[in-house]
Amino acid sequence: MKPLVQVGQAYLALSEGEEKLRKGLFEEAAASYNRAMIVSRTIPEDEAYDHQGFDALCHTGLAESMVNLQHFKEALASADIALHYFNRRGELNKDEGKHWINAVRSRAAALEGTGRPEEALKAYQMVSEMIAERKAEIPGREEQIRIIAQHISRLKGAQSGKKPASYKAWWEFWS
């Protein structure tokens, strides 16, 4: 198979994954993203093709699919792979910026789902700042900001009820 055909098949599977994700077909979307990565791995390494960038796009969608399926460990792993690429190369004002934001948001949800609220809070705050700083259009921007603010508020409320690890009650100082 010629590399151009493989590239086309990989991007077709990626776009199918994105379409299925929009429709709420999370298992099918995950399968499409995985298929896209499998096909892209058949493209020879010496071809002028950004393997890591393509995988980052696929892992971004896969992470969101896994969050919606409540497979939080898998979602966290995929989000981290995507962020390894985007944190080095991401630019908020380019098209990749949307994927970068989605990867951070999926990571926040995965952290929350795995019982790591402090890290989730930091990730939600980061994605909130990223959305605010992005100049280009983000579909559903206001709704995203509202939902993220709810997560931040809930996580801050849960933390305010906790005592710090070094906390001692007043009577413990004299015992």
For residue 150, give its domain range.
3-158
In a domain, 167, yes or no: no
Q: Which residues, in sequence order, are CB contacts of 82 under 8 Å at separation 6+? A: 55, 56, 57, 59, 60, 63, 99, 100, 103
Q: Mean of the pLDDT values across residues 117-146?
A: 88
Write down the pLDDT at residue 166: 59
In a domain, 151, yes or no: yes
Q: Mean of the pLDDT values across residues 149-158?
A: 90
What is the pLDDT of the chain when averaged over all its residues? 87
**What does the alpha-carbon distance between residue 15 and residue 160 come to, in Å, rounded to a whole number?**
42
For 88, phi then psi, to 5°, come to -90, -30
Q: Which residues of 90-117 are buried (b: 16+ CB within 10 A; e: fewer)?
A: bebeeebbbbbbbbbbbbbbbbbbeebb
Helix axis angle for 72-89 and 96-113, nearest 10°, is 140
In a domain, 134, yes or no: yes
pLDDT band of residue 167 (cuts 50, 70, 90) is: low
Q: Which residues of 51-61 are buried (b: 16+ CB within 10 A; e: fewer)?
A: eeebbbbbbbb
In a domain, 68, yes or no: yes
In a domain, 135, yes or no: yes
In a domain, 175, yes or no: no
Domains held by the chain: number: 1
**What does the alpha-carbon distance between residue 29 and residue 66 come to, in Å, rounded to a whole number?**
10
Write down the pLDDT at residue 140: 82
pLDDT band of residue 89 (cuts 50, 70, 90) is: confident
In a domain, 30, yes or no: yes
Write down the pLDDT at residue 73: 97
Q: Most confidently modeled of 40-44, 63-67, 96-100, 146-150?
A: 63-67
In a domain, 82, yes or no: yes
**What does the alpha-carbon distance between residue 39 and residue 26 come to, in Å, rounded to a whole number?**
20
CATH of the domain at 60: 1.25.40.10
